[in-house]
Amino acid sequence: MKIPVSSIRLPTRPGREYESRFDREQSMLKMLAIPIASMILASMVTTLPIFSAGPLLPPFGLLMFLSWRLMRPGLLPIWSGLPFGLMDDLFSGQPFGSAGLLWSLAMLVVEIIDSRAIWRDYLQDWLIAALLIIAVLLGGWWFAGLAHVAPKPEILFPQMLLSILLYPLVVRICARLDSWRLAT
Amino acid sequence: MAPPPHRRPGFSRKAQYGLFATYVVAIAGTIVAALLLTISVVDPTGFSALRAFGSEVTAPVARVINDARQSTQAITHNVSAYIDAASKNVALEKQLKAHRSALIEARALHLENARLRGLLKIADEDAQQVAVGRLISSTASSTRRVATLSIGRNFGVERAQPVRGPAGLIGRVIETGPTTARVLLVTDSENLVPVMRASDGLPAFSSGLGNGLVLIKPLNLGESPFKVGDIIITSGNGGLYRANIPFARVIRKTSDGALGLPFADPANTPYAVVMKPYLGEARAAQQALAPDGETKEVAE
């Protein structure tokens, strides 16, 4: 026997001043928007009035992207390197498509590593991130050199070192954002 | 960390195909990015509209923060001026006396120069300024040295206009948006500037090194004629940059040239003046024959 919809009554309960502490739903908007917004904002850091003599500012967009990927596997779809990379290209000054390609490749590399080294600890994640940061910075230098005259690659060393050392900080920021994201 | 749950989709065909599709999309995305990159390598100005959009969107925040930064810099400067003020004052007064006579002589020379030019009927094209703006951000994480200027097409800024600050040459405009423009700094490897030594007019070329310094090479190759402390100014050759703009100071001599530190520090320049190209008409005629960026070096 089917029950007509109109006959379903929600259980009535006395009105409360406060929200229930049990069985609360996470906000879908927060769960999606926080990682996306954090990565885009991190890419936009280069548009702040920061002037450096050489390439010194770490690529915060890439650091944020790698932290989310390594800290929460399965959160970012495997194709997400393309949209976030292209977004980064808008602000970084690199030839358009350079980060789109490099981040996509980084994503595929992490996916391959995920299928081989399944149980990893934090130090191994840091090592993977460090190698990817070096590869992406060198790749960006090479692509910039294809389109324009490029300086010597040695000027990237300080930026590489700074980025690798800043990765743990970005992971911690990510972890804080993640607990806020999943909070009910 | 445990493997992510989506790795083993179970026996559901739908889930298996879904997982497979994400891999296909990922690889297709990589190929799309490679194509976009190829386009921007072949035509570096191709996506300038997108980049202009990016800088337009973020410019308001950058403007506000830049204003705050400039005023804090002014505060620290004012405070530090009080330290040791009396002895500084004495030294400055001495310097002022010494410079006063030099200034009067320079004024007389300027007048005489103008009279002689009038006699010779040399019509000097005025280096008129187009607009005055500020540098609001730079590509601090990229190997390219490009800064964003706070004014754009609305103020008449166009491509290939030189930009200078109060201390010296900053660069030239490469892309413009409605209210922002991008300036290729003199420290970028792609920016070649015809320069000369201020003391004797020795002609040279400067190219950026990407690390805040410029490499200065004399036109007559050979042993480096430069000395540490030489002042380099623009020579006006090529018709883009006006002559006699302060450019750099030599800080180290190399085997065939010198390393120079540009006078204009983008981080510290209070304003940036966009100027009309020096000898604009002659340059336009030259550009019609052989445009910049299209004549490529022949590989050996």
What are the pLDDT digits (tens) for B121-143? 766 655 578 889 888 888 888 88
- Whether residue A124 has pLDDT greater than 70: yes
Cβ contact, residue pair A54, B44, below 8 Å: no
What top-level class would CATH report for the domain B129-280?
Answer: mainly beta
Q: What is the pLDDT of residues A28-71, one digit of tens each?
A: 888 899 999 999 999 998 888 888 888 889 999 999 999 999 99
Q: Distance from CA of residue B186 to its chain's centroid?
A: 4
Can you give the pLDDT at residue A160? 94
Instruction: Please report, rounded to a whole number, the percentage of residues in chain B having pLDDT higher than 70.
Output: 91
pLDDT over 70, % of chain A = 89
What is the chain B residue with the closest CA to A108?
Answer: B26
Question: What per-residue confidence (pLDDT) applies to A40?
Answer: 94
**A179 to chain B, closest Cα gap in Å:** 17
Task: Tell me the average pLDDT across A61-88.
Answer: 93
Q: Where are the domains of chain B?
A: 87-124, 129-280
Chain A touched by B27 (CB under 8 Å): yes
- A105: nearest CA partner in chain B: B30
Give me the residues of B, 74-133, that contact A with CB < 8 A: none
Average pLDDT taken over every residue of chain B: 84
The answer on pLDDT for B296 being more than 70 is no
- Two tokens, residue A119: 């149980």
In the predicted structure, residue B5 carries a pLDDT above the cut 60: no
Give the SS3 label for residue B135: strand
Q: How far is it, in rounded angstroms, from Cα B230 to Cα A23?
A: 75
- Contact list, A138 vs chain B (CB under 8 Å): none
Q: Do B143 and A141 count as a contact with CB atoms less than 8 A apart?
A: yes
Higher pLDDT, B296 or B253: B253
Given CA atoms B154, B155, B156, B160 in this order, what sign does their dihedral have? negative
Fill in the amino acid letter for A76: L
Going edge to edge, which strands form the sheet with B129-133? Answer: B129-133, B272-275, B162-164, B169-176, B181-185, B146-149, B135-138
In chain B, which residues have their Cβ closer than 8 Å to the Cβ of A140?
142-143
- Interface predicted TM-score of the whole assembly (ipTM), two decimals: 0.80
